Structure 1
Amino acid sequence: MSGITEQFTEIELSFLMLSLDEFETRINELRNHVTRPDTLDNIELNLGFIADTRRKLHNKEHDFTLNEAKVIYSAVYDRRDFINESLDEGFDSEDDHSDALSMLRIANSVLRKLKVAFSSLGIDIDAFLETGSTC
C-alpha cells in the first residue's frame, strides 16, 4: 500500500509508534500462554510485520505491504479500545481525562485515514477485524 502514512501528522506518527509498541507487548504476552504451533507461527509472523513496520516508520518510509498495513490498523484499533475503556472507568484528574480524549481524537483520525486507504483498494478493514482474521 503506497503512501498510506504520508498524510499523517507527526503527532499521529508518534501515536502510531506507541500503538505498535503496546500491540507488540500484548502479542508477546499472548505468546507466553499459547501452545498450538500454528498459533505460535502466526504470532511470530505478526511480530515480524510489527518489526518491519516500525523500521519503515523510523526510516520515514510510507509504503507498506498489506499485512503491515493491517498490523498498523489493528494496533491503532486496539489502542483506541484501551483508551475508550479507560474513559469508561474514569480518571482521578481532569488533566488525565483531557489527555485521554486528545489521544482518542488522534486514534480516530488515524483510523479514518487508514480506512480510506483500505477502501481505495476495495478492502473492508472492519470486516477483516470482525472475522478475527490474522494478518
Structure 2
Amino acid sequence: MDIDLTVMLANILNGMGPKLISKHMKAQAAGDETRATMALAQVVIYTKLLERYQEDDEYYQFILDLQQLREAQEEFYLESRAENNRKLALVVLSRLRFLAMLQRRLAAAERDKAMETLRTTPAIVRH
C-alpha cells in the first residue's frame, strides 16, 4: 500500500465534501430545483465513495472501483437517454461530472507525486 497516495486520496475526498454540500445548499436557497437536484446527486455519490473509502483505503483498489462506478454510470446515462428520461439523465450526468473531476484530481496528484519522486531520486550515471 502506498501511504502517500492513500493520504492524498483522503485529503482530496475530505476537501470536496464541504464544497459539494455548500453548492447544494446555495442552489436550494436560491430556489433552483434543477441545480439543487444535480448538486444533491453529487453529494450522494460523494457519500457513497466516502463510505467505500472507509471500508478499504487501499488506493489502487479504490481507483479500480472508481473506474467501474464511472463505467456503470455511463451505461445508466445512456439508458436514461434512450428512455427519454431527461431528469434522470441530468442526475446521472451530474454524477459523471463529479466522478470525472475526482479522477482528474487524483491523476494530477499522482503526476505531482511521480515528479517529486523523480526530482528527489539521484540520477544514474552511465560510463
Q: With the length of structure 1 as denominator, give the TM-score of the two structures.
A: 0.42
User: Greater helix percent: which structure?
Assistant: 2
